[in-house]
Structure 1
Amino acid sequence: MSTSSAASADAAPADKKSSRQVLEALSGLLLGMFVSMLASTVVSTSLPTIIHDLDGNQTAFTWVVTATLLTTAISTPIWGKLADLTNRKLLFQLAIIIFVLATAAAGFATTPEMLITFRAIQGIGAGGLAALSQVIMADIISPRERGRYMGLFGAVMAVATIGGPLLGGVIADAWGWRWNFFVALPVAIAALIIVQRTLHLPKRDKQKTAIDYLGIVLLSAAVSLLLIWVSLAGNEFEWWSPTTIWMVGGALVATVLFIVTELRSKEPLIPLGMFKNLTFTLSVIASVATGLAMFGASVFLSQYMQLARGASPTEAGLMTIPMIGGLLISSIGVGALITRFGRWKPFLIVGAILLTAGSYLLSTIHYDTDFFLVSVYMVLLGAGVGMTMQNLVLVVQNTTKPTEIGVASSGVTFFRSLGGTIGVSVMGAALAARITDLVTERKDDIAQALMSLGADAPKWAEQLQSGSLPKVSTMPEALRVVFEDIYANGISHSFLIAVPFAVISLIAIVFLPNKPLTRMTTSERIQASEADLATVSVPEGMAVLTTTGAITVPESGDGERDGGTSSAR
């Protein structure tokens, strides 16, 4: 009894120390994620102003966002593969450096093309931060315990997503939008220092690094051609045209070649064998809808607030707080509940239902919809994202081989980013087409509004004909009301695109195998696998060399020994 008590007493402080060490190690990861989220969200409320000042149009607005998402999606599996082959801590620090330097460079952009280029480079670093944070967490925390820490990541994301637009709006209104790109630099330096001092990962056996360069090229070509086609078709060229044929055909050929390359590669970028795992396949399908809802909402809700409700960048940041509040509460709360009870599937199902409901309800909003109702819709969408996003990665990590945690985690993140990228592109293309149609339909109302402006009419007519994204909040009342209605109609129409994807996500989650969460970290699972391999079955009568060096012979079925002095074979 006393021995047991003593053991328990000794275990308590050890657990406490272990928990403290985990939090210390996570501090650098959390700050790194905060940097990436802050650098992204701080410009979200300023984008309509930025594109207006750089003389960009709706397509440029979409591509400023899509460029980052595209390179994030493409680079995520690359970072994940590197994480399985080399130093994960060094990779995480490199991702921070790439991300922040590109973000700072974007602050000096003078054209939409320059801004899009720097945002594309920014996405390479973002892909590393997204993939590596999940992989490193799996190194030090078991899936069962990871729920509460996933909640911390959700909280950091929520704070950055709430604080970023607010801070960005204040900075843009006070000092100009360029300063939004510089604000993350001091935080990034702090993150690098903290990661270096606090993140100590278990040692792993060195492996020969082999990168699937051909796979990278083919994947990039397939995704890029598809997104460029979606963004430009209907504006730069007809949907049914020779350009469409070669771009879509090129994307399909690149996809087929990518699959063939992955099947033959010794170190594939995305091991296609993982799709034999039902949990991985269904989680990938569900992640596509989550990414579409998350990125689409963050981009087009800000545009709705400024172009359909006449808000300033600061006001737009304040008006999107309900969505982030829903994400914050659901992410932290559900993470804690999963850790406490070990059950995850009911929360994912509820999250998918909320995601579907929020997407549909946001497709019904107008420029004069009661803001309380818009807030409720945003809360539902945010709660759905918070309950599904991180937990889909958790479920996959729980069932994946420990040696493939990197590619499995980055695989889910990749398809989530890909879903967001395609979603934003499709929603942006639908919005641009819808706006063009609505402007044509309401040309008489616009002409009447211009006539009421008197001497100012030529100035506003010239601005509208320039094709650049208008600054609706500065328009005269008669003209502003017309364009607020046009943009509200177009943006709500775009949200309708997310609904069928959310329904597919719900179906995929319902069929996810409900496997219990393990309490072993990735490092512990690797050690256990090695121990299993070292344990071999021994036929009756065969001598075994024990760890102490003694030679023993297992008992036969009748309890007799075949000879205690025989040699070990």
Structure 2
Amino acid sequence: MNHGSHYNLAKNKIIMIMAGLMVVLLLAAFDYSIIGTAMPKVINSLQGMEYYVWPFTSYMLTSTIAIILFGKLSDIYGRKHVLMAGIITFVITSVLCGFSTNMYELILFRGLQGIGGGILISLPFIVVGEIFSPRERAKYMGILASVFALADVLGPILGGVITDNLGWRWIFFINVPVGVAALIIILYSLPNFKSPDIKKVIDYFGIITFILSLSALFLGVTLAGDLNTHSFAEITGLLVFAGIMFTMFIWAEKTAVEPILPLNLFKNSIFSVSSVGSFLAGALLFCGMIYVPLFAQDVLGMSATNSGFIMIPMLLSLTITSILTGLIISRTGKYKKLAIAEFIITAIGVVLLATMNENTPYYLLLLYSTILGIGSGMAYNIFNIAVQNAFTLREIGVVTASMRFFRNLGTILFVPIFGYIMNFTLISSSTVNLSETQALVLSIQNIFLAATVLAFAGLIVAFFLKEIPLGEDVPTTS
């Protein structure tokens, strides 16, 4: 059954909706990148260096959980209501973060803010999937994805300026005017789409087991990074608990009326392949985002500001290729060759990054990280478009949210693994007579070598991606 009628929106209405969605995404995306620059100041002000990563990790955990939960709830209650609730949650918790008096409060409020953040990051992509035909969708997805790259480029610079001139609390307070603007635009422009034939049944058992399994896995992996303070038994206990909860989650999803993650989606090979592809692409991008600035600062001896500038070509190439990939898919209606090309380019990027040492001139660091950026930028769109094209409109919410979820999961699981590789290399190189810089070079080389393995795995996976040519018509609900 074709619901063409309420998608035939006027041009000015589309511009308004896209503007609203971009402001929403900008709000959440800036938050990721701004806090990085401000964290050293935050630590000085609130104390608690040992909790340095927790404001990031608590946010990352809750936002990853929220992506799946609210993707599903928006099927039931409509995109507009859930999106507006997300903006309001995000703005209120931003204010709370800004008023934090110690690290524990900041970690707690960041966790709550992540719930809003997860909604803001996934729902715009779902709405674009619903409004446009598969061919058009690619173009608009590219425009949305470019917001992330814009935020990644400007975030660290803005974060520095705000922190230096107004104080770190303003990186949170600045979300208020932006959030209010987003709320007003969405309120007036966005129709409230919901799937007509969805039963209003909430899968409580699925939700609880999902949250517990992911939280336990996340905590286990994070704490394992510091074996000196946490016993092996604690970590194993957490991981075993995660396993038990995950098994219960699978059972819950098999029996639920409206499961939050319908397992039959995995019967579709495009969904399974794209999930693995998104997972690997998320890990590969973050590998560059974290270790390129570290190499620039601690090996090549650059200042924090200059290492921020080193990232600009990588992030600009990410933005441009994200938009171009969307346009190419829109023009040709095909995506498989691009998925293969994406992992080849990413592999070349990480292989080159793995060859760097303390004598590497900075322009080569620029060139290599830009190649990684080109590959990573392509990944933003390909898998989203492939899965949206493979399912009916009724499932678009959950399949789009799932891609974002697996991308985040790749980041969550691999960031600590890259951390282990680093610590392990540093510890083992202290037995041989290497200078600190040489030990650091070696550990960063090992991280990029590990990333090379991921890129090749991604390449193999991409060959299994089935291609369904994209249609010109407005999506159908049947």
TM-score normalised per structure 1: 0.76
Q: CA contact under 8 A between 1:45 and 1:302: conserved in structure 2?
A: no
User: Given residue 368 of structure 2, which amino acid in structure 1 is its aligned partner?
Assistant: Y
Distance 1:82 1:158, change over 3 A: same
Distance, in Å, in 2 between the alignment partners of 1:72 and 1:517 is 31
Q: Find the partner of 1:63 among 54, 59, 75.
A: 54
2:376 matches 1:385? yes
Per-residue deviation, 1:130: 2.1
Q: Which structure features the higher share of helix residues? A: 2
Per-residue deviation, 1:129: 1.6
Q: Which residue of 1 aligns with 2:73?
A: 82
Q: Find the partner of 1:356 among 347, 350, 356.
A: 347
Q: Find the partner of 1:286 among 262, 274, 277.
A: 277
Q: Which residue of 1 aligns with 2:173?
A: 182
Distance 1:203 1:514, change over 3 A: closer
Per-residue deviation, 1:56: 4.5
Distance, in Å, in 2 between the alignment partners of 1:154 and 1:234 is 31
Q: Residues 419-438 of structure 1 correspond to what in structure 2 (within 5 A)?
A: 419-435=410-426
Q: CA contact under 8 A between 2:216 and 2:239: conserved in structure 1?
A: yes
2:38 matches 1:46? yes
Q: Find the partner of 1:221 among 212, 223, 226.
A: 212
Q: Find the partner of 1:514 among 452, 467, 478.
A: 467
Q: CA contact under 8 A between 1:234 and 1:433: conserved in structure 2?
A: no
Q: Find the partner of 2:27 among 26, 35, 38.
A: 35
User: Given residue 42 of structure 1, which amino acid in structure 2 is its aligned partner?
Assistant: I
Distance, in Å, in 1 between the alignment partners of 2:162 and 2:358 is 26
Q: Find the partner of 1:406 among 393, 397, 405.
A: 397
Per-residue deviation, 1:38: 1.1
Per-residue deviation, 1:62: 3.6
Distance 1:360 1:197, change over 3 A: same
Distance 1:407 1:38, change over 3 A: same
Distance, in Å, in 2 between the alignment partners of 1:394 and 1:364 is 34
2:16 matches 1:24? yes
Distance 1:492 1:211, change over 3 A: farther
Q: Which residue of 1 aligns with 2:447?
A: 494
* C-alpha distance after superposition, 1:277-333 (max 9, x if no partner): 000000001010111123343344344444444444433322210110110110111
Bigger radius of gyration: 1
Distance, in Å, in 1 between the alignment partners of 2:215 and 2:193 is 37
Distance 1:108 1:492, change over 3 A: farther
* C-alpha distance after superposition, 1:89-110 (max 9, x if no partner): 1111111222233334333445
Q: CA contact under 8 A between 2:349 and 2:369: conserved in structure 1?
A: yes
Q: Which residue of 1 aligns with 2:115?
A: 124
SS in 2 for 1:194: helix
Q: Residues 525-536 of structure 1 correspond to what in structure 2 (within 5 A)?
A: 525-526=476-477, 529=478
Select between 232-241 and 215-224 the one with higher mean Cα deviation.
232-241
Q: Which residue of 1 aligns with 2:259?
A: 268
Q: Which residue of 2 aligns with 1:199?
A: 190
* C-alpha distance after superposition, 1:103-157 (max 9, x if no partner): 3433344544433323222221121122211111112111111121122113222
Per-residue deviation, 1:514: 1.2
Distance 1:43 1:363, change over 3 A: farther
Distance 1:25 1:405, change over 3 A: same
User: Given residue 318 of structure 2, which amino acid in structure 1 is its aligned partner?
Assistant: L
Distance, in Å, in 2 between the alignment partners of 1:178 and 1:308 is 31
Q: How many residue pairs were aligned?
A: 472
Distance, in Å, in 1 between the alignment partners of 2:194 and 2:411 is 35
Per-residue deviation, 1:33: 0.4
Q: Which residue of 2 aligns with 1:7?
A: none
Distance, in Å, in 2 between the alignment partners of 1:378 and 1:159 is 17
- Structure 1 unmatched runs, 5+: 1-14, 446-481, 530-569
* C-alpha distance after superposition, 1:60-84 (max 9, x if no partner): 3443333222222211110111121
Q: Residues 318-397 of structure 1 correspond to what in structure 2 (within 5 A)?
A: 318-397=309-388
Distance 1:262 1:161, change over 3 A: same
SS in 1 for 2:169: helix
Distance 1:48 1:322, change over 3 A: farther
* C-alpha distance after superposition, 1:248-305 (max 9, x if no partner): 2212111111111111111111000110000000000101011112334334434444
Select between 200-209 and 281-290 the one with higher mean Cα deviation.
200-209
Distance, in Å, in 2 between the alignment partners of 1:346 and 1:193 is 41
CA RMSD of aligned residues (A): 2.8
TM-score normalised per structure 2: 0.90
- Structure 2 unmatched runs, 5+: 1-6
Q: CA contact under 8 A between 2:223 and 2:235: conserved in structure 1?
A: no
Distance, in Å, in 2 between the alignment partners of 1:508 and 1:173 is 45
Q: Find the partner of 2:240 among 231, 246, 249.
A: 249
Q: CA contact under 8 A between 1:169 and 1:317: conserved in structure 2?
A: no
* C-alpha distance after superposition, 1:409-466 (max 9, x if no partner): 111111111111111222234334444555x558x99xxxxxxxxxxxxxxxxxxxxx
